Structure 1
Amino acid sequence: MKPAIAVVDIHGTYKVHTEFYRNPSARKTIILVNGSLATTAAFAHTLKYLRNQFNVVLYDQPYAGQSKPHNDHLQPISKENEATILLALIEHFRVHYLMSFSWGGVAAMLALAQCPTRIEKAVITSFSPLLNEPMIDYLERGLIYLHAGAGDELGHLVNSTIGKHLPSLFKRYNHRHISSLARHEYRQMHAHVHQVLHMDAHCQMKCLSAIETPLLFVNGEHDEYTSPTDVRLFAHHLNDCQFSIIRNAGHFLDMEHKNAWLQGQTAALSFLQGPAVSSRRYHRAAEFQHAPAL
């Protein structure tokens, strides 16, 4: 079933391409938040299991994908602005759940810190509150290529670092996509990377205590850039969070192999469709390791 396509006006400032997958039997709606340099296509695997359970909203940031023709790209968009866009879409589509990938976790958590009343639960995947040594090295090298608009080199960098566990077919797609981006997209990512490299942490810890939404953090066992160990720092700052490790997977999780996809599906649906849990609680990852590793 094809999605309903719409360009949504955000406060008269941005125009955002959206795709709404309606499930006639679903009572809940989930919105997916892209990582950097990505478009709605990046969620193709995740969509396969979510659309059977929920209405699903995908969107491209104003500077990316099918939103590009509708915006002027004169200035980079801040993560705070991305959070504002997300909050507006949550209201527009009457969203109940949120799921983010990688750098999309920054905008997601900034939005959640504003306590959107509609959001009941959120899944944050491949994200960490820390910039550890592998991530800093990756970002510093990426900053050079982004500044130069060197898409070919940037594509190789992504595939040899955070994307090193991807199958060869996905690496080819990744490289083709990253190497052919518009100049303003490289400027956008350069501005963001430059900002986070000059902060103590790219996730603003002081805002976390305001988040009331139950969260599930999902990280790959072999992801050294947003590692399962580093993400546990959130347990000290959030009121209600749980953790899941996807065995034998790196940063890109369900894109890497079928078993990782099955594990991610089980973890996400068990959390989203399970009973609401309140109070300050730390759930060990083992509680959500339902699928065996390859």
Structure 2
Amino acid sequence: MKPAIAVVDVHRTFKVHTEFYPNPSARRTIILVNGSLATTAAFAQTIKYLRPQFNVVLYDQPYAGQSKPHNSHSRPISKEDEAAILLDLIEQFQVDYLMSFSWGGVAAMLALAQRPARIEKAVITSFSPLLNEPMLDYLEKGMTHLQATDGEQVGQLVNSTIGKYLPSLFKRYNQRHISSLDRHEYLQMHAHIDQVVHMDNHCQLECLEVIDIPVLFINGEHDEYTSPKDVRVFAKHLSDCQFATLDNAGHFLDMEHKGAWLQSQAVLLNFLQAPARVMYSPRAQHGAVHAMAV
């Protein structure tokens, strides 16, 4: 079934391309939040195991993908802008669950800190509140190439670092996509990184303690940039969180190989389809789920 396409006017400021995949038998709707430099196409693997269970909402940020022709790009938008857009879409599409990938976790966490009444559960993948040495090195190199709007170098950097475990076909797609972006997209990401690296913590941990819904963090075993170890810092700030580590997976999780796809499917659906608002024990709240390789 093809998605329903709409361009949504958000606060009379941004126009956002959206894709709504309906499931007549579904009782819940989930919205997916892209990582940096990505479009709705980045969730092609994820949506395969979500559509049989949920209504699914995808969208492009105002500066990216099919939203680009509808916006002026006169200035970079902030992470707070992205969180406000997400909150608006949650209301418009009556969303129950939220799932983010990579840098989409910044907007997702800031939105959750506003305690949107509709959201029952959230899944944050390939994200960490800490900027460790590998990530800082990646960001510093990235900022140089982004400021120069050198798309070829940005693409090569992504494929040799966070994307190093991707199949060759996906690496070729990454290179083609990233190297052909518009100038404002490189400058947008440069502004985002510059904002992040000059903050004490890039998702403002002190404001997250108000989040009172179950949150699942999923990271790849071999992801040195947003590592399973670093993400556990969230356990000190969230009252109801769980952690899952996918075996033999890097940063891109379900895109990397069939085993990681099956693990992602199992862990995510088990979490989302468990009864809501159950009272977890302290061990369950801050425990880890280790996803066995399939």
With normalisation by structure 2, the TM-score equals 0.97
Show the counterpart of 2:138: 138
What is the aligned partner in structure 2 of residue 121 from structure 1? 121
Aligned with 2:30: secondary structure? strand
User: In the TM superposition, what whole-angstrom CA distance separates every residue of 1:151-207 from its partner, at most 9, and x where no partner exists?
Assistant: 000100000000000000000000100000000000100001111111122110111
1:70-81 paired onto structure 2 within 5 Å: 70-81=70-81
Matched with 2:83 is 83
Task: Tell me the alpha carbon deviations over residues 104-158 of structure 1, each in whole angstroms, 9 at most, x when there is no partner.
Answer: 0000000000000000000000000000000000000000000000000010000
RMSD: 1.1
Deviation at 1:283, TM superposition (A): 3.8
User: 1:85-234 residue pairs with structure 2 within 5 A?
Assistant: 85-234=85-234
Matches within 5 A, 1:257-272: 257-272=257-272
Q: Is the 8 A contact 1:239 1:279 kept in 2?
A: no
* One-letter identity of the residue aligned with 2:93: F
Separation in structure 1 between the aligned mates of residue 253 and residue 57 of structure 2, nearest angstrom: 20
**Distance across 2 between alignment mates of 1:200 and 1:14:** 29
Amino acid of the residue matched to residue 14 of structure 2? Y
Distance in 1, matches of 2:73 and 2:39, equals 16
For residues 6 and 191 of structure 2, what CA distance do their matches in structure 1 show?
A: 28
Q: Secondary structure at the match of 1:269?
A: helix
What code does the residue aligned with 1:271 have? F
Alpha-carbon deviation of 1:280?
7.9
How far does residue 284 in structure 1 lie from its aligned partner after superposition? 2.3
Deviation by residue 1:5-41 (Cα, 9 ceiling, x = unmatched): 0000001000000000000000000000000000000
Q: Distance in 2 between matches of 1:8 and 1:279?
A: 38
Letter paired with 2:288: A
Show structure 1 runs of 5+ residues with no match.
none
Q: Percent identity?
A: 75
In structure 2, the residue matched to 1:239 is: 239
Within 2, Cα distance between the matches of 1:20 and 1:293?
Answer: 32
In structure 2, what residue type is equivalent to 1:101? F
Measured in 1, the distance between the counterparts of 2:288 and 2:107 equals: 24
Does the 8 A contact of 2:28 with 2:96 survive in 1?
yes
Is the alpha carbon distance of 1:262 and 1:279 closer, same or farther for their aligned partners in structure 2, counting shifts above 3 Å?
closer
Task: Give the Cα–Cα distance (whole angstroms) in 1 for the partners of residues 86 and 243 of structure 2.
Answer: 23
Aligned 1:29-68 pairs, distance under 5 A? 29-68=29-68
Query: For residue 253 of structure 2, what is the aligned residue in structure 1?
Result: 253
Task: Indicate if the aligned counterparts of 1:3 and 1:21 stay in contact, CA closer than 8 A.
Answer: yes
Give yes or no for contact 1:162–1:250 (8 Å, CA) kept in 2.
yes
Q: Are the equivalent residues in 2 in contact too, given 1:214–1:278 (CA < 8 A)?
A: no
CA distance in 2, matches of 1:198, 1:120: 32
SS at 1:219's partner residue?
strand
Question: Aligned with 1:251: secondary structure?
Answer: coil
The alignment covers a number of residue pairs equal to: 291
TM-score by length of 1: 0.97
Letter in 2 for 1:215: V
Question: Which residue type is aligned with residue 9 of structure 1?
Answer: D
Decide whether the 8 Å contact of 2:240 with 2:286 is kept in 1.
no
How far residue 239 of structure 1 moved from its aligned partner, in angstroms, is: 1.0
SS at match of 2:115: coil
